[in-house]
A and B are shown apart, each in its own frame.
Chain A
Amino acid sequence: MDVNILYNVEHEMPLGIPIALYFYLTGLSAGSFIISTLAYGFGMIKFKPLGKIGVVMATSLLGIAPMILLIDLEQPMRFWHLILYLRITSPITWGTFLLTLYPLNCVVYGYFMFKGDLKRTKFFGLIGIPLALLVHGYTGFILALGKARVLWNTAIMPPIFLVSAMVSGLALMILVVIIKDFIIRRKKEPDRMLIYALGNFLVASIVLDLLLIGIDILVLLTSHTEAYKAAIMLLNGPFSLPFLGIEVFLGAIIPLFLLLLPFTKHWIPGLAVASVLVMIGIFAMRCIMVIGGLSIPLS
């Protein structure tokens, strides 16, 4: 039947790019922290050069990320209400504690690492892994528990966020190692094996990320009307270019080819391009999730 809306009110979209950027930075931070603990927490000697740079990246990125959240508040001067009047059912309250504990743990872990106290480094590294997972997992819960938005309210949202954090963290580490070895210290022999090992991890996590996204879309497509419309919005609607073009094709398929094809997989500029594309793709994913989720009409 012909239906026309003559008058309706839609309120302004509450969240936007700053929140997407915040999710992106916490993801990068959690990813680089976990890579940093590979050597010092789990004893994978191959990754030892990444320990220090990983913890520095993790701490500094997590210094910036909560600032973006504060700027995005309508009343930034009242941020202390978060600690005083907490409500335990809200994922933002979980985040208040995680965003306090996790950077502190990063600083302590980094301090012992730079001092060379390997036993304590391992201890704080192992404490830090669940914290890093929770810090990024809770951002997935922020979206998953926003039950009004059908694109967010799925059980697979926290795992997608964790895996995409790993993807972007690995890409960042590859870039950092390339910049460190090939641009800053040009004369030293570069650690190619380290980069190739990170590349293999990156392939595995991109594949896992694509799988989770595919599962999400498939279930949305076969679920109720609103979910179906959200899936169509991503596949053949206003968000199909950012989703299929940037997130899936540029951010996952092309890097996968660059990392797997025999004549590009040991080519350092190719790996650098793949990492940059992956990082762009993950940022696009955060923006699509936040803005796409909010652009589904409610009234």
Chain B
Amino acid sequence: MKNQTTHKKRYAMAIDLRRCIGCHSCSVACKAENRVPLGVFRTWVKIIEKGRYPNITRHFLPTLCNQCDHPPCVINCPVQATWKQEDGIVIVDEHRCIGCKYCLASCPYDARYINPLMPIIQKCYFCHHRVYAGLEPACVEVCPAKARVFGDLNNPREEITQLISKQPFQVLKPEMGTYPQVFYIGADSDAMDPFAGRKEWM
């Protein structure tokens, strides 16, 4: 399309939780696509259960790197091994990373992990190898309920732009001043609260 060549890209993801069925397909697809080792995750689906019988529901919260506009991991990386690209994706240079783990300590979303097989820091980067080849990220492609929507926020014709223009949405931890680029539609506040449901923190 004409618009796509004239505009700068601005990748973002919207997750429509009215559609999410909590099947964990996104986590599995991500693990397969990016060879994520056992014990660590680039994306996962947090599941909470709330209420008292018979009024009880489950709420899902697929979690991934929020590709923040003001990323604390980038500000704190001492070797410029992670940076925000013009298209909005925060990537890690695995050859430059020294593994000081300061980005793990700075990330408010616990999105980064140490690869246990090859000691470097990794995280979700919206499957940029697929995106640059014209495909969608693995988790978006595999989602059976089409709850995950990926696209270019600068293109008004894309589904994500229309979705987040029309629907009320939330982001995780807006108080951190990170300006996350993963938008949740219909997320439950208890699912978004790290302390809800933790008896030891009540």
Contacts and interface: CB of A to CB of B under 8 A. Distances in A.
Interface in B1-48: 39-41, 44-48
B49 interface: yes
Given A3-B190, A4-B48, A4-B197, A90 B102 contact: yes
Contacts of A186: none
A90 B78 contact: yes
Given A3-B190, A294-B105, A14 B49 contact: no
Contact of A2 (B51, B97, B121): B51
A92 interface: yes
B165 to A, nearest CB: 28
Contacts of A120: none
A222 interface: no
Interface stretch (B112-120, B137-145, B155-163): B112-120
A225 B104 contact: no
B201 A229 contact: yes
Interface residues of B, number: 52
Contacts of A9: 41, 44, 46, 63, 110
Interface residues of A, number: 49
Contacts of B121: 74
Contacts of B80: 85-87
A16 to B, nearest CB: 10
A91 interface: yes
A261 interface: no
B160 to A, nearest CB: 23
B49 A4 contact: yes
Contacts of B197: 3-5
Contact of B76 (A1, A7, A91): A91
B100 interface: yes
Given A7-B46, A297-B198, A299-B194, A147 B97 contact: no
B186 interface: no
B120 to A, nearest CB: 6
A64 interface: no
Contact of B78 (A75, A82, A238): A82
Nearest to B108: A148
B50 A3 contact: yes
A299 B100 contact: no
Contacts of A115: none
A149 to B, nearest CB: 7
A11 B108 CA distance: 12
- A interface, over-half SS: loop
A1 B58 contact: no
A1 B50 contact: yes
A15 B105 contact: yes
Interface string A1-43: 1111111111110110000000000000000000000000000
A87 B79 CA distance: 6
Contacts of B114: 11-12, 14, 74
A35 B41 CA distance: 49
Nearest to B190: A3
B127 interface: no
A44 interface: no
Contacts of A3: 48-50, 190, 196-197
Interface in A75-116: 75, 78-79, 81-82, 84-87, 89-93, 96
A90 B75 contact: yes
Contacts of B106: 145-148
Interface of B: 39-41, 44-52, 58, 63, 72, 75-81, 96-102, 104-110, 112-114, 119-121, 175-176, 190, 194-198, 200-201
Given A8-B47, A74-B99, A297-B201, 10 more contacts: A6-B48, A6-B49, A15-B101, A75-B97, A142-B102, A145-B76, A148-B108, A149-B105, A229-B201, A297-B194
22 contacts: A1-B50, A3-B197, A6-B58, A11-B40, A11-B41, A12-B40, A72-B101, A74-B98, A74-B100, A74-B119, A75-B97, A78-B99, A85-B79, A86-B79, A90-B77, A90-B78, A147-B108, A148-B72, A148-B106, A226-B194, A237-B201, A299-B194
**Which 8 residue pairs are nearest across A and B when measured between Cβ atoms?**
A74-B99, A92-B78, A74-B119, A14-B104, A14-B101, A3-B197, A148-B108, A298-B110
